Structure 1
Amino acid sequence: MSDVKVEGYKTSEILATLAQVFEAYNDEEKASQLKKNNGIFEFKVKNAAGKEASWTIDLKKTAKLLGLKPDVTIILSDETFVEIANGKTTGQKAFMTGALKTKGNMMLATKLDGVLKSTRGKAKL
């Protein structure tokens, strides 16, 4: 998924890997992820240079990275996203310290850790 990759963002590498994992899911795994998460996540990520990029993941109908209207927008730095993806911190800790902000369905944002954790075993994040 080359359209997921954006130069200057470690987040884009992780999301490209996540997209590959989603594409490799069998129907049962895909249905499980959709049922468990049931939402559209948008990530607005600021890199070290201060530039912002965004990605949208549909975990409501397709388990793909798309450009849909999100149920929740998660705003964080590239480094914070990498730390959450690698399990070095949690979304809740990042939120409590101000490193992660949300717009929209905040309860859906709490599922971010689970989404990333469930793919960690299938892909090296």
Structure 2
Amino acid sequence: MDNCIFCKIISGEIPAKKVYEDDLVIAIEDISPVAPVHLLVIPRQHIVNSLDMRQEHEGLIGRVFTVAARLAREKGVAEEGFRIVNNNNAGAGQSVFHIHFHLLGGRSLQWPPG
């Protein structure tokens, strides 16, 4: 956790463009956006990925999705459509091993992704 970039952003050690924060999560603008709206919703608690989730994290994940929906509305992508993405392990594209959720919107998102 000492080397975790998201833990350093959460603690204020590394600056980021925060768009939301509360006692459980923060949301920041992605530094390499792949859509006009590309935010990261990050739990403050260091959890590596969804494989490390436990029953006590259920409320936390509910908060992630509530915040993502709020931000989608605020950023004007709720009606047109948006995607929430969570990658687990390197083969799926996870590059920072602190669970986080990408909120993507503002352009047509194709299926299947990747």
Relative to the length of structure 2, the TM-score reads 0.33
Which has the bigger relative contact order, CA under 8 A and spacing at least 6?
2
Q: Which has the higher helix share?
A: 1
Relative to the length of structure 1, the TM-score reads 0.31
